[in-house]
Structure 1
Amino acid sequence: MTAGLLKSRLERLHRVLSGYIERQEIPGIVALVSHHDDVHVETLGSMSLGQSAPMERDTIFRIASITKLITAVAAMILVEECKIQLDDSIEKWLPELANRRVLKSISSDLDATVPAARAITLRDLLTYSMGFGSVMAPPNTYPIQKLIRDYRIGGDGPMLPSQYPGMDEWLQKLGSLPLLAQPGERWMYQVSGDALGALIARVSGQSLGIFMRERIFDPLGMKDTSFRLPAEKIERLPTFYSFNHQTNQLDVFDGVENSAWLSETPFESGGGGLVSTIDDYFTFCRMMLNKGRHSRKQILSRATVELMTSDQLTPEQRVGSEIFFGTHASWGLGMGLDIRRNEIYHTPGRFGWAGGFGTIAYTDPAEGMIGILFTQCMVDSPASPKLFSDFWTLAYAAME
């Protein structure tokens, strides 16, 4: 008999997650835990503060940085088709990012640079070591931060899709700035995912959204996943909130009637721009758990999935990213990866990521397990919130 989930432990999961709703720490939650063939879904709370419309299983969430895994799969589809190789320079397709210069140090003035030792490659984008990314310091600590913010590059805090410039303009602005580190030198968050999305568009000759639709979403039946929300699905979109530390209350960050996802976005963010449902994302995770296969469709080869979900960083490349990785995690190709068991749920080989818009999803091949938690509240620190750690502790404790 296949091991599944223990009913008494799932009741505990329900009680603890419900506590977050009852204490009004968060308006609503949709969560999924699967262990082999046993799948359990929780829908708790409401679509907005002070509103009675309940969260539903088909609620459409802004999934933020767990978009990154899907973008990585899109890139590896092109690799498998020999349209581009992992160690190819991206300059042929993204000439805006050619002939780079690198700041002598993060605190340097913008003209204190040295030439890049080599070109940025596709592998650099997938391993988030292109040499540019989020600056993990308070605003205005370093000269480069002002331009990252002014240029709306996306490496200086959460952004709505409408706040990005167009893709070509985004690339030009990024290319006008010096790199923060040499290509391949160290892992840096966020910007590599957006550059990867632009590269996929240029290599494929299609927009990122159309390529994902044709090569991933339609074959998997992910009918509610996209960079833009159709107007007829607006009732399934919850209000999205950020926490105001001055008032200790939730403020609306993206409403429903005027949501940034209702109009065409100037730049489809491969680093964090998709909306999706719990079941759509579960389908994607099952494909990855099944080594690239979904029913009779092979999205990626087994060898490719195994490469993507293996550790691709050296300890030296992880230096400075401890707030993301701690001592238990690293990075594969486009996704986080557990390499050491510090917590109940840190199984070596477990892969996935969390999103700044209150989403998290991980797949554990060793346990045959998938966990997904969607909320509509912003996470304002790279450190994992208690809700996330409670969810994973309870999910792993529920396994037979």
Structure 2
Amino acid sequence: MKRLHRRLAALSIPWLVTLCLATGARAYDVAPVSDPESLGFSSSRLARIAAWQQRQVDAGAFSGAVTAIARNGRVAYLRAVGFRDQAKTSPLQGDAIFWIASMTKPVTSVAAMMLAEEGKLDLAAPVHRYLPELKDMMVAVEMKDPVTGKTDIAYEPQKHPMTVEDLMRHTAGLVYGVGGTKVEHLYNKSLYGNAGVWRRDRTLADFVSELAKLPLAHQPGEVWDYGLSVDILTRVIEVASGQPFDQFIEARLFNPLGMVDTGFYVPEAKLSRLVDPPANGWGGPPDSVLADVTKPTKLFSGGGGLASTAADYLRFCQMLLNGGELDGVRILSPATVRRMTTNALPPDVRFAGFAGGFVGPRAGSTWGLGLAVRSDAASSVVPGSVGSFSWMGASGTYFWIDPAEHLIAVQMIHALGGSGPFQRTLRDLIYGAFRVPDQGAPDAAASPLQIDADALAAYAGTYRFASSNARDKQESHEFGGVGVEIMMQGGSVKVVSPIQDAPAAKAGVVANDIITHLDGEAMQGKPLNQVLDKMRGPVNSAIRLRIVRKGRNEPFELAVVRASIRSPGVDLQVTAKNGKLQVEASGALPILDFEKGTPVAVVPMSSDEFFVDGGDHTRLAFLHGEVGKATGLVLNPGPWQITGRRIK
């Protein structure tokens, strides 16, 4: 009955109220526990997160970061690093407000599922049931003349009408208009710029009316392509609920969950907590429009318009992890949350678009209803349990929820180019902070064994681990490639970092290079997975990279010969020195008790077993081959072990 009264009260909110960040609501106490060990974490290893983020701040990747980690319903870590402003005069606080960009999308998807549970929204229904103006949208097919090479557009009707579910799973055929195809250019010209409708003074109804004049980029249901689907879904929610979207989510989601700092603009009283944009701004539309959260808006973009805090978004995530409930408030049923967080894509779906590197077989990930879901641990680009679900924002914000570990992590940053370059490291550091249960110093600490120098020397070498933690089953892969980490930025291929000693680095490729062509083929607007496929090939085969570099007037080409590239791993360097075995991390990531630049002397327990007398008491067991030298290394033998192979 109380739930019914709350819903009736929500419907009585005055129609013309515009949502802002509430100034009088209750705050959520997110003070972290004093002993993260009680939640299964190592305090010293959690501290590595802030140290890593500080290095990013010092390097100019972002001005500051707020990270929140919760496990078993309690906050294990909440810390701010860096500054709120680009001038670096205002230290960042934990309650800082960030534009969360596409982390708005899961919020919108929850709102849609609330209506579906009430019978007000049919996910299987054609979108035109709610938005009749979209009924006759045609599908654009790009045709290339084999003689002239000219590309033109032909039009065909939809084989099946796009459904509400297509909007939620990005299979509606809609795109953002930021790529290089002719269809993308049509979207860009119509929607963005001074003459477009993607403006803060226009409404979602205006936007839908203009979109109806454009073609779809794909047949509905056939292709996963990240785009404007969730903004159309937002307008569907307005029609189905009979309320403007801002009022609906304030009354039905933010107020019940106590999300006191989340909304479509930041009121003057809270502007001192809003984090500055990146030094180079947000780039072009649609980001530049949605990111201006300092003024009220009529464009309630459910695809990317919200601002929020780490604490607020943590509450939203905890509701999902709890199966749709928080603090006695039921938002969704457990069955609905399960539906949202399991694969919703057809088995024969194709993947396209600039986000294709984060979703699809290559990424070990699929898509539910509003969320990316980890589906294949072995091929995933990030650690975590199968069934973990997540998403990110173009602003750099990122979150994931791991039901198997009862874990939530939220990182708030403002970084041009998004969170992609920082996701793996953050997740590695967090999973790497898990302690091995009930592991203390062994009795051997009192009377250590003595091992001769020759035996110790047989263990010296470099050992590679596919992951830095025992809760992940990533596998190390090997392929022919150029050895460069890339990201899509505004439809262009940007070099994040060339891998040290790999072919690209040896040929002269540097960070921030823009790769415009591969073997003469333009890469502008290509999906990330297609670019990666083009870069890979047989070992010793050559590929030409055309590059645009800041400070050089003209593009130039580099010839690169592909070599064997191993997927990122974690390395330990073992040395024998002064009658002791010393171990340190030698790659970019720490692992358990071992960090780069800090060799740790390990204590022998037997001829091939050692342990760290301090820290988290990591145990080491060397594996032997027929020739006497160690072939591998097992850390913490037992149910939580991590096994590495000797590579040098």
Tell me if TM exceeds 0.5: yes
The equivalent of 2:504 in structure 1 is none
Structure 1 pair 161–150 and aligned structure 2 pair: CA distance change class (3 A): closer
Asked whether the equivalents of residues 164 and 170 of structure 1 are also in contact (C-alpha less than 8 Å), the reply is: no
Higher deviation after alignment, 230-239 or 62-71: 230-239
RMSD value over aligned CA atoms? 2.3
The equivalent of 2:426 in structure 1 is 391
Equivalent residues, number:
377
Structure 1 pair 48–79 and aligned structure 2 pair: CA distance change class (3 A): same
For residues 220-231 of structure 1, the aligned pairs below 5 Å read: 220-231=257-268
| Residue identity opposite 1:304 in structure 2 | T
TM-score (structure 2 length as normaliser): 0.55
Distance 1:28 1:51 in 2: 9
| Residue identity opposite 1:7 in structure 2 | S
| Residue identity opposite 1:251 in structure 2 | N
The equivalent of 1:118 in structure 2 is 160
| Residue identity opposite 1:332 in structure 2 | G
**Structure 2 unmatched ranges of 5 or more:** 1-36, 145-150, 284-290, 436-648
The equivalent of 1:85 in structure 2 is 122
For residues 153-168 of structure 1, the aligned pairs below 5 Å read: 162=199, 165-168=202-205
Structure 1 residue corresponding to 2:188, chosen from 146, 149, 155: 149
Percent sequence identity over matched residues?
32
The equivalent of 1:267 in structure 2 is 299
The equivalent of 1:24 in structure 2 is 60
Distance 2:152 2:38 in 1: 60
* 1:362 equivalent in alignment to 2:397: no
For residues 210-229 of structure 1, the aligned pairs below 5 Å read: 210-229=247-266
Structure 2 residue corresponding to 1:303, chosen from 320, 335, 350: 335
TM-score (structure 1 length as normaliser): 0.88
After superposition, the C-alpha distances for 1:74-117 in whole angstroms (9 at most, x for unaligned) are 0000000000111011212211211221112377645x211111
For residues 1-400 of structure 1, the aligned pairs below 5 Å read: 3-36=39-72, 37-105=74-142, 109-110=152-153, 112-134=154-176, 137-138=179-180, 142-152=181-191, 162=199, 165-241=202-278, 250-253=279-282, 260-320=292-352, 322-325=356-359, 326-341=362-377, 342=380, 345-379=383-417, 384-385=420-421, 387-400=422-435
Paired residue secondary structure (1:238): coil
Paired residue secondary structure (2:224): coil
Structure 1 pair 172–160 and aligned structure 2 pair: CA distance change class (3 A): closer
Paired residue secondary structure (1:21): helix
Distance 2:199 2:260 in 1: 23
Shift of 1:20: 1.0
Asked whether the equivalents of residues 190 and 197 of structure 2 are also in contact (C-alpha less than 8 Å), the reply is: no
Paired residue secondary structure (2:156): strand
Asked whether the equivalents of residues 177 and 188 of structure 2 are also in contact (C-alpha less than 8 Å), the reply is: no
Distance 1:105 1:137 in 2: 14
Distance 1:227 1:190 in 2: 20
Shift of 1:371: 0.8
After superposition, the C-alpha distances for 1:222-246 in whole angstroms (9 at most, x for unaligned) are 01101121121111111101xxxxx
Shift of 1:343: 5.0
Asked whether the equivalents of residues 222 and 350 of structure 2 are also in contact (C-alpha less than 8 Å), the reply is: no
Distance 1:104 1:251 in 2: 36
Asked whether the equivalents of residues 197 and 207 of structure 2 are also in contact (C-alpha less than 8 Å), the reply is: no
Structure 1 pair 313–200 and aligned structure 2 pair: CA distance change class (3 A): same
Pick the structure with more strand per residue.
Answer: 2
Distance 1:35 1:343 in 2: 23
After superposition, the C-alpha distances for 1:200-222 in whole angstroms (9 at most, x for unaligned) are 11111111111000111000000
Asked whether the equivalents of residues 127 and 187 of structure 1 are also in contact (C-alpha less than 8 Å), the reply is: yes
Structure 1 pair 160–10 and aligned structure 2 pair: CA distance change class (3 A): farther
Higher deviation after alignment, 12-21 or 124-133: 12-21
Task: Write out the 4+ residue segments of structure 1 that deviate beyond 3 Å after TM superposition.
Answer: 105-110, 134-138, 159-165
| Residue identity opposite 1:220 in structure 2 | L
Distance 1:71 1:39 in 2: 28
Pick the structure with more helix per residue.
Answer: 1
Distance 2:385 2:197 in 1: 33
Q: 1 or 2 for the larger relative contact order (CA 8 Å, sep ≥6)?
A: 1
Asked whether the equivalents of residues 135 and 145 of structure 1 are also in contact (C-alpha less than 8 Å), the reply is: yes
Distance 1:390 1:350 in 2: 17
Paired residue secondary structure (1:168): helix
**Structure 1 unmatched ranges of 5 or more:** 242-249
Shift of 1:162: 4.2
Shift of 1:252: 3.5
| Structure of greater Rg | 2
Distance 2:347 2:178 in 1: 19
The equivalent of 1:247 in structure 2 is none
Asked whether the equivalents of residues 223 and 280 of structure 1 are also in contact (C-alpha less than 8 Å), the reply is: yes
Paired residue secondary structure (1:42): strand
Shift of 1:181: 1.0
| Residue identity opposite 2:280 in structure 1 | D
| Residue identity opposite 2:247 in structure 1 | I
Asked whether the equivalents of residues 177 and 186 of structure 2 are also in contact (C-alpha less than 8 Å), the reply is: no
Distance 2:207 2:198 in 1: 12
Distance 1:360 1:330 in 2: 17
Shift of 1:281: 0.1
| Residue identity opposite 1:391 in structure 2 | L
Structure 1 pair 282–188 and aligned structure 2 pair: CA distance change class (3 A): same
Distance 1:56 1:228 in 2: 19
Paired residue secondary structure (2:335): helix
Shift of 1:337: 0.8
Shift of 1:118: 2.2
Distance 1:23 1:333 in 2: 37
Shift of 1:261: 1.4
Shift of 1:135: 5.6
Asked whether the equivalents of residues 219 and 297 of structure 1 are also in contact (C-alpha less than 8 Å), the reply is: yes
Asked whether the equivalents of residues 4 and 399 of structure 1 are also in contact (C-alpha less than 8 Å), the reply is: yes
Structure 1 pair 106–34 and aligned structure 2 pair: CA distance change class (3 A): farther
Asked whether the equivalents of residues 102 and 393 of structure 2 are also in contact (C-alpha less than 8 Å), the reply is: yes
The equivalent of 1:244 in structure 2 is none
Asked whether the equivalents of residues 58 and 236 of structure 1 are also in contact (C-alpha less than 8 Å), the reply is: yes
